[in-house]
Chain A
């Protein structure tokens, strides 16, 4: 049996390598020549205005979309050729939550545990409950997704992505639609989990406070440039970047 988190430690390939990735739909090119490497244990943020291809890049990384150019590998596995191996190493939180509507929150989080471990039901319930406690949903575990708010659904989705403690977590706009306190709590959770488990995080977000709080490095995509316009540590980019879009992005937020 294989499962997430069981890969022997000797394969110390980087968490994610994006080589020259590009995506076009017909004649329309979303981006091309995107290349970066994410180290294990890094919190990496993908930034950019709407329509620049952030979500497309994320979909390529998790194997939902085949890059039209270039190649992406996750912990040494090619995303296209070895999708199954990659799936075991990643947890994904989708923007809307994507919880299963017919299951309670507890059952939602228990599902991956039931699929990939042989733990007894009581143990699965206990583990799932702790994950929901971690995201502050201790009181809501028996509710259905239709009975909770959008922010709660988002947190429950993070709990589900965490179910198996995957080494790499992809979060698509985790703090969008959350109040600042809950959002800050999520940032803290991300850092705590990184410290405790050594997880790698790939986060799509616009919240600059959150970027400065969590990101080790970030990449910024741009629609006009059809590709990446910045890659580096957020503070450095804020101070040294000469690209007008990058400057505008960081300075607007820095004043707020």
Chain B
């Protein structure tokens, strides 16, 4: 490819800038700044000599036009081709006179904490109202949709849940057996692990997996619907978004969470048993320890917590999706917000439960 080049000469008091070669976007790079500098330094009349110039495209014409704008009356062009002249004339009519607008630095959109909080509380309130208004809006519920959501949130997560539970049970048993053996208390490992799984880790792990798998999926799906104006279409049809989109998702999350938490519990107990049997404890002793330490009460308490976590994650996922802004980036941000919000809410609620259960003596 040939590049454009320039030569600067002087005729009496005037400066002549001779441009040669194609004045097209790919060819202009070497001469752009030089030409502008030469023009700025020029004294007297500036003569642009284009006799040797090749084809001129809009980029080349931009250069000529900007020189023309900077030098006004003091600039003359010679050897401008007919085609280039036409292009230049077209650009002159298109470009507004005067200095081009300054490129303003983009202000970073800072999220207003108070406004965000109000949005979230408002969304929570709308969802509660939608739940109470449900009997009147039953026709908006679509069974197929609900079962699809439940399947994706629930049964598809089961293998992952079982594997995580089994590994966590094994790790906990193994890690706690070593220090407790020093005190001869390693038989109580079974009690320790089963208690922490039933009351804390089962619901918590299930919640984290639900937030990562399902909360983010809710946010991405609803966010895409917002971006595609599907949500706007529903609103104009008079369809209540809370009933049509939020409730099925929240209920699906609430329905699958106790099952997932129970999955973590059972797999965790199996993993723990596996380690303890290897360490030499008979299964009967392990089962006895578990029965001594915890019972159906502990398990049910954990499952109840799981339901609440599921509701929180479902709601937060839907909120993140439905308040997504425009553009493809918004969907990604909504999914992030759903996961982070879901996990934070789960842990806050868990702390709250710890206090309440302690007060209630559960």
Beyond A116-B25, A116-B26, is A146–B32 a contact (Cβ under 8 Å)? no
Instruction: Evaluate contact between A129 and B100: CB separation under 8 angstroms.
Output: yes
Which of B1, B26, B66 gathers most chain A CB within 10 Å?
B26
CA distance A144 to B62 in the complex (A): 24
A27 at the B interface (CB under 8 A): no
Chain B residue with Cβ nearest A196: B87
For residues 78 through 103 of chain B, which have their beta carbon under 8 Å from a beta carbon of chain A?
A: 83-84, 86-87, 90-91, 94-96, 100-101, 103
B242 at the A interface (CB under 8 A): no
B22 at the A interface (CB under 8 A): yes
Give the residues in chain A near B104, CB-CB below 8 Å. 142
For residues 139 through 180 of chain B, which have their beta carbon under 8 Å from a beta carbon of chain A?
A: none
Instruction: Evaluate contact between A3 and B95: CB separation under 8 angstroms.
Output: no
A236 at the B interface (CB under 8 A): no
Chain B residue with Cβ nearest A123: B32
Instruction: Evaluate contact between B94 and A133: CB separation under 8 angstroms.
Output: yes
B44 at the A interface (CB under 8 A): no
Beyond A123-B32, A146-B325, is A6–B24 a contact (Cβ under 8 Å)? yes
Chain A residue with Cβ nearest B35: A123
Q: How far is the CB of B2 from chain A (nearest CB, A)?
A: 8
B58 at the A interface (CB under 8 A): yes
A198 at the B interface (CB under 8 A): yes
Beyond A127-B62, A134-B91, is A102–B26 a contact (Cβ under 8 Å)? no
B9 at the A interface (CB under 8 A): no
Contact size range, B = 35 or more
CA distance A134 to B87 in the complex (A): 11
CA distance A197 to B82 in the complex (A): 11
Give the residues in chain A near B26, CB-CB below 8 Å. 1-6, 116-117, 164
Q: How far is the CB of B33 from chain A (nearest CB, A)?
A: 6
CA distance A6 to B91 in the complex (A): 22
Give the residues in chain B near A134, CB-CB below 8 Å. 58, 90-91, 94
For residues 95 through 132 of chain A, which have their beta carbon under 8 Å from a beta carbon of chain B?
A: 101-102, 104, 106, 113, 116-120, 123, 125-127, 129-131
A192 at the B interface (CB under 8 A): yes
A165 at the B interface (CB under 8 A): yes
Instruction: Evaluate contact between A5 and B95: CB separation under 8 angstroms.
Output: no
CA distance A17 to B125 in the complex (A): 62
Instruction: Evaluate contact between A138 and B58: CB separation under 8 angstroms.
Output: no
Instruction: Evaluate contact between B58 and A197: CB separation under 8 angstroms.
Output: yes
Instruction: Evaluate contact between B106 and A127: CB separation under 8 angstroms.
Output: no
Instruction: Evaluate contact between A196 and B33: CB separation under 8 angstroms.
Output: no
Which of B27, B95, B103 meets A133, CB within 8 Å? B95
B28 at the A interface (CB under 8 A): yes
Instruction: Evaluate contact between B25 and A3: CB separation under 8 angstroms.
Output: yes
Instruction: Evaluate contact between A139 and B95: CB separation under 8 angstroms.
Output: no
Instruction: Evaluate contact between B96 and A138: CB separation under 8 angstroms.
Output: yes
Give the residues in chain A near B58, CB-CB below 8 Å. 127, 130-131, 134, 162, 165, 197
Instruction: Evaluate contact between B28 and A117: CB separation under 8 angstroms.
Output: yes
A145 at the B interface (CB under 8 A): yes
Which of B29, B61, B66, B104 gathers most chain A CB within 10 Å?
B29
Q: How far is the CB of A12 from chain B (nearest CB, A)?
A: 15
CA distance A119 to B36 in the complex (A): 13
A-B contact pairs, 23 of them (CB 8 A): A2-B26, A3-B24, A5-B24, A5-B25, A6-B1, A6-B22, A6-B24, A6-B27, A102-B329, A117-B25, A123-B28, A127-B59, A130-B65, A130-B91, A133-B95, A142-B106, A144-B327, A146-B325, A146-B326, A165-B25, A196-B83, A196-B87, A198-B83
